[in-house]
Amino acid sequence: MTVPYDKPFAQKLLFDMLRIRRMEEKCAELYGAQKIRGFLHLYIGEEACVVGVLHALAPEDNIVATYREHGHALARGVPMNAIMAEMFGKRSGCSGGRGGSMHLFDAATRLYGGNAIVGGGLPLAVGLALADRMLGRRAVTACFFGEGAMAEGAFHESMNLAALWRLPVLFCCENNLYAMGTALARSESQTDLCAKAASYAMPTLKADGMDVVAVHEAAKLAAGHVRDGLGPFFLELQTYRYRAHSMFDPDLYRDKAEIEDWKARGPLHTFSARLKAEGKLTEEEFLALDARAEAEVQAAVDFAEAAEWEPVQDLLKDVHTPGAAP
């Protein structure tokens, strides 16, 4: 299939994926250098999912994500400087240094976290959608989660509530086949995730999560359905993470051959090859985009390095809202 987008938009999709890839490669390096600590869950390999979906959304829409959300924050428009500073634990981070890699928040772009409880974001998304509906706003709440979350009670309760009340939630399952080290077939009696979701009387769609075009087309359809007030929609994006679950994971549970097979389907090189074949990208243009992404990453690292630490006297800040009763 030819890429159904003009050159600027096609290159925009590519660039957005490239920014995520280059930022996260740098994060892995910085983790080794102990600049970034705690847990670090890389999204490398899955970039087409978030880029394809977020380009189908509008500024008034809400985003709820998981602890593997660097790409979501970046693609949504959170400045890379603020993301990198957050990972460094600096005050100028997008969560003031209180959240870290797993808890990127941004009120300006309606990014409601970065939730590190598997399935924890789903009820939240239902509530955000309920508020939009009750306040008469025509917004979509996009809720990202992995296939692992579909074994949680929170998934079932949220799907039921959203369908029962016909709420504007776009459920985006990034199915990367492994819940940490547990393969889908080892944890789910029903491995057809759309069949599972469809039991809540909700429309579903499966898309190749390695193909940004497939994701974007599916997301446009799904988001349109939700925005038109027709109720929630379940989107399964079939994808794969190239890196281990976290930096602590020795990755002993996957075949090397399986990883290589999925790498052959990599979202960046397959898409750029298609664009080149269709005359929508030259090698020079690719190198220029890549250089721009690399430069942005370097600037973000410099920003985070130079940023100030929050004074320890402020430790108890933001437990409660200032001005509220103690």
Give the relative orientation of helices 212-227 and 267-277 as an angle to the nearest 10 degrees.
Answer: 100
Task: Using CB under 8 A, pick the residue from 103, 196, 216, 274 that binds other proteins.
Answer: 103
Structure tokens given for 178: 């492994």
Beta carbon nearer to other proteins, 22 or 68: 68
**At closest approach, how far in Å is the CB of 216 from other proteins?**
26
Classify 170 in phi/psi space as left (phi over 0), alpha (psi -120 to 50) or beta: beta
CA angle at 98 for the pair 95 and 100, rounded to the nearest 5°: 75
Check residue 112 for interaction with other proteins (CB under 8 A): yes
* Strand 182-183 relative to strand 178-179, pairing: antiparallel
Taking a C-beta distance cutoff of 8 angstroms, is the pair 210, 263 a contact? no
The footprint of other proteins on residues 150-169 (CB under 8 A) is 153-154, 157-158, 160-161, 164
Check residue 315 for interaction with other proteins (CB under 8 A): no
If you ran DSSP here, which 8-state letter would residue 112 be given?
E
Residue position matching structure tokens 């709440």: 141
Task: Using CB under 8 A, pick the residue from 127, 183, 194, 206 that binds other proteins.
Answer: 127
Segment contacting other proteins (CB under 8 A): 2-10, 33-41, 100-108, 186-194?
100-108
Give the relative orientation of helices 283-306 and 80-88 as an angle to the nearest 10 degrees.
Answer: 50
Task: Using CB under 8 A, pick the residue from 52, 79, 89, 113 that binds other proteins.
Answer: 113
**At closest approach, how far in Å is the CB of 319 from other proteins?**
5
Check residue 226 for interaction with other proteins (CB under 8 A): no
Check residue 33 for interaction with other proteins (CB under 8 A): no
Check residue 99 for interaction with other proteins (CB under 8 A): yes
Task: Give, for 179, the enclosing helix (H) or strand (E).
Answer: strand 178-179
Beta carbon nearer to other proteins, 135 or 264: 135
Order of all β-strands in the sheet with 62-66 = 111-115, 62-66, 141-146, 169-175, 233-238, 204-208
**For residue 163, which amino acid is it?**
A
CA distance 88 to 35: 6
Total of residues contacting other proteins (CB under 8 A)? 47
Check residue 97 for interaction with other proteins (CB under 8 A): yes
Beta carbon nearer to other proteins, 263 or 320: 320
Segment contacting other proteins (CB under 8 A): 67-75, 112-120, 190-198, 210-218?
112-120
- Backbone Cα Rg of the chain: 19
**At closest approach, how far in Å is the CB of 157 from other proteins?**
3
Residues found near other proteins in the complex (CB under 8 A): 62, 93-99, 103, 105-107, 112-115, 117, 120, 122-132, 134-135, 153-154, 157-158, 160-161, 164, 317-321, 323-326
